[in-house]
Amino acid sequence: MQRDHTGVIEAEGLVKTYPGGVTALDGISLSVRGGTIFALLGPNGAGKSTTVKVLTTLSRPDSGTAVVAGHDVLRNPDRVRRSIGVVAQKAAVDPSATGRENLRLQGRIHGMAGRRLESRIAELLEQFGLPDAADRIVQGWSGGMQRKLDVAMGLVHRPSVLFLDEPSTGLDPEARATLWAEISRLAADEGLTIFLTTHYLDEADRLASRLAIVDRGRIVAEGAPEALKAELRGDAINVVVGSADAGPDAARVLERIEGLGAPTLDGTLVSARADHAATTVPAVLSALDAAGVAVAAITVARPSLDDVYLRHTGRAFRAAALEVNA
């Protein structure tokens, strides 16, 4: 399979404001190389889906440009549409049709027909482990199976770029693991460029060779997961204090401790990075004890994408997700 290592997706300064004044995209720029998996990571409402909608020609940006598979999304949307497969956040399958009929309609829309289409359908059903269910009405399928069909529908016409908007949301762990394996395989064996969005840190960490963290319509960090984690010097020391009132006191205490980075506060959780966690933890504990701050728990963690997120947005990932959902 041919691979193109220049930017298969290039977006520059995408801005999108919805009627009502909600700014979904506030200047998104990104670049995705051919044959790689790129993850856009962020909480619900951060602008992930809107980015996908713009890149897949569904939505027009107010300003900015985007080129996908060599075609401008605004000037040549139909060319883009021929080159991409799109798997939306919600399984876009026709529940009253069978799996095979769903795939057939999708293929026909892309101008496929006859034996070529039928053999492609059989191949995809096999690949996604659906041959037994193929001729049953989709209505009765499990969520995981519908999701697989959904992804298969995005692949019928052999696109060069596949967009997956939160592919594993709502899937049980087993279905998620199968899907992850399939996504990795598509990029590795078939040279597909995959652009996925997720609000699962582990998903981005596991699948993507590069990722961007999006928060409130802006990209706050971009790079390889390992590089982003390496940027965070040392380990994280996470202190959970007895009450939220004690949080600011604890943060002030930690600020003064040598060998410890600037602390961040999130409710009862105070976190800071340490060059040498083993020697710093006792100092933290005794300083807090001296200041009269009750400690409920203290943990040391290797850098994770949670920490990357926290550092770049100033909020813990879970908190951001809750805030948006509230």
Partner 1 sequence: MTALAQTGYVAGRHLRFFIRQPWFVVMALIQPVIWLLLFGALFKSVAQIPGFTSAATYLDYLVPGVLVMTALFGCGWSGMSIIEDIDRSIVDRFLTTPIHRSAIIVGLNVYELVALLIQAVIIGGLAWLLGAKFEGGILGYGALTVCAMLVGATVAAFSDAMALILRQRESVIGINTMLTMPLTFLSAAFMPLALVPDWIATAARFNPVNWAVEAGREALTASPDWSMIVPRVVALAVLAILTTAWATRTFRAYQKGI
Binding site for partner 1 (CB under 8 A): 18-19, 53, 56-60, 78, 81-82, 84, 86, 88-97, 101, 105-106, 108-111, 137, 153
Q: How far is the CB of 116 from partner 1 (least distance, A)?
A: 15
CB of 52 to partner 1, least distance (A): 10
**Helix (H) and strand (E) counts for the chain?**
12, 14
Q: How deeply is 169 buried, as exposed, middle or buried, from its count of CB atoms within 10 A (0-12, 13-18, 19+)?
A: middle
Residue 90 CB, nearest approach to partner 1 (Å) = 5
Nearer to partner 1, 74 or 220 (CB): 74
DSSP-derived secondary structure letter, 23: E
Rounded Cα gap, residues 273 and 302, in angstroms: 10
Helix axes 246-255, 277-291, angle to 10 degrees: 130
CB of 206 to partner 1, least distance (A): 26
Tell me how far, at minimum, the Cβ of 179 lies from partner 1, in Å.
Answer: 18
Cβ atoms of residues 290 and 192 within 8 Å:
no
Which residue, 59 or 238, has its beta carbon nearer to partner 1? 59
CA distance 239 to 254: 10
State which residue, 52 or 212, has the beta carbon closest to partner 1: 52
Cα 180 to Cα 96, 167, 196, distances in angstroms? 27, 9, 11
Alpha carbons within 13 angstroms on the beta-carbon side of residue 314 total 1
CA 42 to chain centre: 7
Tell me whether residue 22 or residue 294 sits nearer to partner 1 (CB atom).
22
Based on CB atoms, which residue is closest to partner 1, 97 or 291? 97
Return the DSSP state at 294.
P
Token pair 């604890």 in the structure block, residue: 250
CB of 94 to partner 1, least distance (A): 6
Of 11 and 260, the one with the shorter C-beta distance to partner 1 is 11
Q: Report the half-sphere exposure of 68 (CA within 13 A, side-chain side).
A: 30
Closest C-alpha among 229, 179, 231 to residue 37: 179
- Min dist CB 146 to partner 1, Å, is 11
Residue number, 118 or 202, with CB nearest to partner 1: 118
